[in-house]
């Protein structure tokens, strides 16, 4: 029997701005590996991430089944490609799967009517249902027969009417699924600039209404084995070529006890080989001591998430969100304050009951705790979330706008046909407690936070205000409330941001598609579109950092004067240190030795000093510091500039992937005795 070909696609938009998704298609690999084990030599499966590769395969031989990943960043491209496939090869059976699919029955029917390109759609986890469907089609190679069979988790419309099979039970032991790495399915992707991706558990115990894993289906967490994790990590290490990053897709990585053993192995691997240098992940919402231990084992390589979404009790109750304690958040902040670890906390704009006062209070609260990065997400109204239900939309009077997703616009040719594709997301811009005017001002406020606070860009100012008992947010607000009177570079920056923020919103996705198609070439080179926050953060660093720097310290002096405090010498010394550390940031040739009248390093790095009663006067003694990039930083900067480019689009991508504080020049004491507190602090942390 000749094996029948099955193609699985997870297509990425590809432009000068980079890929819309630069991770290996792990989920497709899991589906393929399981199908091959179950159906053996009756099938052969190929995976595709890039349109030219898929086109070449289609020209050689069309598949029996075409499986299509459905994410919000790829659905339009996939559907336009499938339309072409169906015109040329009408017998190909198209099966969809992925999280961009509703949970409510009426919405599922509407979705399948909107996308008739899908002959069948697999709801939720796909490995077992897809193999069963493929096996059925091998015996009954008839599209309609499969549609009306109501196979587990298979949804279809027949003559406009729904034929939905019951949802299959989840796989409880992920180690029972064959590894797409160890079976060779992922080998070809190591030749591309894609990030290797692993999954060590699946599911989430939390019930957040804005998340696709907040429903009952994913409420239990199922895991893989330690041996499986080690084998995959070792395989990736042996094959990785173009990146030093590893992505882990778990919803709560580091929260479980067995994560520490895996991180210990990765840390040993890192010590031997330098890989992984950085781990992209979403860390656990609880058990922060375990998460921090995992990060310690990885030498600070993890991206730590201290997500809160809001600090307001009414907002949290409406979204079924239980936050970790403020003490736990403060612990995360203290342990990562001046390390390479990228720790951040997330807020979501326009959640139910959100308002200007509540959102500002959440930002203020996170700054008081000392969180060094505050990420403001816009609320995306996405399929598969309770918050996107018809009832929730009505209850909170949601009004939305549509915008193109960053790096997800392009002009393409496929099988002799050309088309423009643009992915669209729907975001909340107004509720019954938040006007559109409020929305716009809070977006501008987040830009202020992004350029004056995040990545501890002015961490020395925050440290000074902390020891003086003053609010960092009040200093930020003093700048924000005066943005119309900042210097010309910053005024233009804010005006451009405001114009782009309003200009990226459309009333309907149909009009968006028409307008974007007209300007597609400007989108693909980054002239318009993209991640606006990261774009303007990059511009602030590259185009007007001297003005930004002077503004920060000018408003600091005014803020202190208004509070009746005069710390002119300390402010002058901090400003001088900050200039040495950050100006001409990517110039790795700059090295300086300088003496300061305050122990600036302890002021900045010892986050517990002020809480233990330390004063600014106690730090008023001379120290001599060497300020320069380390050899590791120099190598990283050179590599990443080569990878992303040094223009604004490239730097926007770099900043979105790497915490900027990793590039601040390092300062060290030239007198070893001055560093005694650092050793004591490390011993204290280990003892804790």
**CATH code of 83's domain:** 3.40.50.280
Does residue 204 lie within any of the structural domains? no
Q: Could you tell me the residue range of the domain that residue 75 belongs to?
A: 4-164
Q: How far is CA 426 from CA 68, 369, 402, 415, 446, in A?
A: 22, 32, 5, 31, 20
Looking at the 3D structure of the chain, how many domains does it have?
1
**pLDDT of the residue at 334:** 52
CA 653 – CA 530 distance, rounded (Å): 10
CA 274 – CA 260 distance, rounded (Å): 19
The pairing of beta strand 4-9 with beta strand 43-48: parallel
Q: How far is CA 432 from CA 153, 351, 382, 388, 398, in A?
A: 37, 11, 20, 16, 7
Quick check: 366 and 446 in contact, CB under 8 A?
A: no
CA 12 – CA 556 distance, rounded (Å): 45
Averaged confidence pLDDT in the chain: 90
Q: How much is the pTM?
A: 0.85
Does residue 98 lie within any of the structural domains? yes
The segments of the chain whose pLDDT lies below 50 read 337-338, 683, 685-688
493: left (phi over 0), alpha (psi -120 to 50) or beta: alpha
Nearest to 426 by CA among 402, 392, 390: 402
What residue has token string 């058990």?
287
Does residue 45 lie within any of the structural domains? yes
> Angle at CA 392, nearest 5°, toward 388 and 394?
115
Does residue 80 lie within any of the structural domains? yes
Does residue 430 lie within any of the structural domains? no
Q: Is 325 exposed, middle or buried (0-12, 13-18, 19+ CB in 10 A)?
A: exposed
3-class SS of residue 253: strand
Note the Cα 387 to chain centre separation in Å. 20
**pLDDT of the residue at 1:** 65
What residue has token string 């969809």?
96
Tens-digit pLDDT profile for residues 372-381: 889 888 999 9
Does residue 226 lie within any of the structural domains? no
Quick check: 677 and 606 in contact, CB under 8 A?
A: yes
Counting other chains too, the contacts that 291-295 makes at CB distance below 8 Å and 24 or more residues apart are 291/253, 291/254, 291/255, 291/332, 292/331, 292/332, 292/335, 292/336, 293/260, 293/263, 294/253, 294/254, 294/259, 294/260, 294/263, 295/254, 295/263, 295/336, 295/341
Does residue 141 lie within any of the structural domains? yes
**pLDDT of the residue at 688:** 38
């Amino acid at each position: 029997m000749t094996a029948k070909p099955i193609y699985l696609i997870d297509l990425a938009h590809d432009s000068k701005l980079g890929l819309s998704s630069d991770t290996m298609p792990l989920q497709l690999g899991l589906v393929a590996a399981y199908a091959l084990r179950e159906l053996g030599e009756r099938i052969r499966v190929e995976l595709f991430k890039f349109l030219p590769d898929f086109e070449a395969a289609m020209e050689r031989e069309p598949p029996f089944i075409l499986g299509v990943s459905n994410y919000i960043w790829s659905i339009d491209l996939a559907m336009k490609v499938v339309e072409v496939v169906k015109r040329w090869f009408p017998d190909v059976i198209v099966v969809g799967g992925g999280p961009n699919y509703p949970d409510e029955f009426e919405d599922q029917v509407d979705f399948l009517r909107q996308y008739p390109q899908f002959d069948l759609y697999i709801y939720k986890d796909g490995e077992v249902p897809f193999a069963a469907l493929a096996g059925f089609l091998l015996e009954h190679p008839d599209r309609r027969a499969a549609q009306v069979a109501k196979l587990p988790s298979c949804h279809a419309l027949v003559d406009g009417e729904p034929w939905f099979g019951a949802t299959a039970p989840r796989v409880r032991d992920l180690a029972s699924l064959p590894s797409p790495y160890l079976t060779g399915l992922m080998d070809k992707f190591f030749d591309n600039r894609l990030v290797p991706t692993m999954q060590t558990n699946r599911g989430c115990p939390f019930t957040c209404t804005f998340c696709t894993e907040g429903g009952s289906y994913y409420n239990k967490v199922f895991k893989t084995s330690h041996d499986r994790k080690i084998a995959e990590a070792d395989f990736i290490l042996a094959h990785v070529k173009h990146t030093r990053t590893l992505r882990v897709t778990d919803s709560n990585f580091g929260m479980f006890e067995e994560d520490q053993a895996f991180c210990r192995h990765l840390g040993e691997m890192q010590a031997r080989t330098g890989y992984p240098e950085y781990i992209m992940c979403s860390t656990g919402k609880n058990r922060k001591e375990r998460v921090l231990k995992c990060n310690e084992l990885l030498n600070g390589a993890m991206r730590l998430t201290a997500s809160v979404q809001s600090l307001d009790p009414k907002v949290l109750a409406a979204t079924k969100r239980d936050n970790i304690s403020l003490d736990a958040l403060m612990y995360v902040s203290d342990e990562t304050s001046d390390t390479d670890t990228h720790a951040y906390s997330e807020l979501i704009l326009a959640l139910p009951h959100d308002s200007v006062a509540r959102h500002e209070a959440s930002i203020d609260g996170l700054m008081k705790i000392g969180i060094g990065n505050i990420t403001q997400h816009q609320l995306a109204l996405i399929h598969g979330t309770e918050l996107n239900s018809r009832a929730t939309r009505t209850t909170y009077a949601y009004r939305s706008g549509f915008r193109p997703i960053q790096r997800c616009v392009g002009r393409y040719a496929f099988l002799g046909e050309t088309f423009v594709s643009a992915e669209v997301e729907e975001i909340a811009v107004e509720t019954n407690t938040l006007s559109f005017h409020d929305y716009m001002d809070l977006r501008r406020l987040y830009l202020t936070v992004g350029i004056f606070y995040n990545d501890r860009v002015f961490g020395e100012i925050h440290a000074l205000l902390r020891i003086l008992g003053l609010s960092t947010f009040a200093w930020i607000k003093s700048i924000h409330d005066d943005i119309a009177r900042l210097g010309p570079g910053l005024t233009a920056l804010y005006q451009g941001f405001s114009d782009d923020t309003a200009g990226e919103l459309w009333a309907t996705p149909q009009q968006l598609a028409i307008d974007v198609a007209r300007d597609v070439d400007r989108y693909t080179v980054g002239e318009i579109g993209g991640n606006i926050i990261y774009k303007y953060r990059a511009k602030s660093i590259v185009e007007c950092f001297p003005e930004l720097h002077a503004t920060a310290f000018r408003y600091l002096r005014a803020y202190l004067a208004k509070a009746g405090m005069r710390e002119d010498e300390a402010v002058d010394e901090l400003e001088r240190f900050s200039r040495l550390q950050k100006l001409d940031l990517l110039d790795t040739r700059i090295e300086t030795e300088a003496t300061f009248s305050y122990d600036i390093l302890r002021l900045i790095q010892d986050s517990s000093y002020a809480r233990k009663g330390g004063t600014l006067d106690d730090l008023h003694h001379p120290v001599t510091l060497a300020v320069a990039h380390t050899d590791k930083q120099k190598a990283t900067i050179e590599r990443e500039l080569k990878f992303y480019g040094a223009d604004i689009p490239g730097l926007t991508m770099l900043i979105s992937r790497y915490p900027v504080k990793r590039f601040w020049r390092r300062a060290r004491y030239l007198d070893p005795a001055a560093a005694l507190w650092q050793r004591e602090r490390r011993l204290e942390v280990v003892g804790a």
